[in-house]
Structure 1
Amino acid sequence: MSIGPVEYLILGFPGNKFSGQIVPELAKLIDSGLIRIIDLTFISKDAAGEVTVVEYDAVEELAAFAGLDAEVGGILTDEDITYAASSLEPNSSAALLIWEDTWAGPFAAAVREADGVIVEGARIPRDIIEQAMGALADALD
């Protein structure tokens, strides 16, 4: 089975404010074929630092996630949950997602066919790229 690049993402929600507000935009990414959700889970850390895995149907705010077209389950491990929880402040929550960048699948296949390999790659944080783009715009003015 050919698979495009796979990414993981940990989305933090300070104050344990899970919300279904991101679901419509996530659904658009899925429905347009840009990504495929491989795994998705939610965790919560209480004031004492106790971590709990939260099920979709256990919290009303998460019900919207159950409607996503996703192949959820089996990839995220207890170690992944522990890792994600280690970066959470008390009284906060996180969504852990693993998705395939299906949009990049044909490019990834072409790279493999050309015997190419990824030497390095990373996401550039939004604030850094905004600052760089702003500086470039200022320099061009």
Structure 2
Amino acid sequence: MAIGPVQLIVLGFNHPNFQGEVIAELERLRESDTIKVIDALAVYKDKEGEIEVEHLSNLTKDEAIEFGSKVGALIGLGIEGEEGVVSGAIAGAEAAAEGVHVFPEPEDAWDVIEDIPPDTAAALLLIEHHWAVPLRDAIMRAGGFRLSDGFISPLDLVAIGLHTAEEARQLHDLETTARRQ
């Protein structure tokens, strides 16, 4: 079975409600076969930078620990306190030893935990894009391959006329408010 392109998205929250509207929207996207959430973690970072991690799924804590965390293995983060951080780091190291490299060069490494502002929370979503499988396969059949990807800031869309400056500033402010507080 082909797996679609997979993306790790890190979303910050000042006052998270992980059981509300975001979960409902992810469920709607899953039901429409647009995406599949492979794994999801909530990371709470206190004012001193200490973190607490919990699985965002219907698995019990024991099941989550038993099945492991795909996100944790990718970024070297576990879900059960200090022991979980160690096991997540081990899983990440084992994946790297088997040739799995999230970042091709060490200088390209993304320190996900460092990016989370103190006294906030983040949802780390590992998402498979089902909608993109036929497109990806067509590109591959045509001899194409992915060179790069990324989300485009609303501010960058002003120059090409997709947003007005005011719309872009409002969207940019909405997307980045927690980082500046």
Using the size of structure 2 for normalisation, the TM-score is: 0.58
1:1-141 maps to which residues of 2 (within 5 A)? 1-14=1-14, 17-19=15-17, 20-21=19-20, 22-56=22-56, 65-66=57-58, 73-77=68-72, 80=75, 81=77, 83-129=111-157, 132-135=161-164
Give 1:135 shift: 4.9
Report the secondary structure of 1:123's partner residue.
coil
Q: How high is the sequence identity, in percent, across the aligned residues?
A: 28
Mapped partners of 1:4, 1:78: distance in 2: 19
Secondary structure class of the residue paired with 1:120? coil
Task: State how far apart, in whole Å, the 2-side matches of 1:26 and 1:91 are.
Answer: 25
Judged with a 3 Å threshold, the aligned counterparts in structure 2 of structure 1 residues 134 and 32 are, in CA distance, closer, same or farther, namely same
Q: 1:79 to 1:102 in 2, by over 3 A?
A: closer
Distance (whole Å) between structure 2 residues aligned to residue 110 and residue 125 of structure 1: 28
Q: Cα RMSD over matched residues?
A: 2.6
| One-letter code aligned to 1:133 | L
- Greater relative contact order, per chain length (Cα 8 Å cut-off, separation 6+): 1
Structure 1 unaligned blocks of 5 or more: 57-64, 137-141
TM-score, with structure 1 as normaliser = 0.73
Q: In 1, are the aligned partners of 2:40 and 2:55 still within 8 Å (CA)?
A: no
Give aligned pairs, total.
122
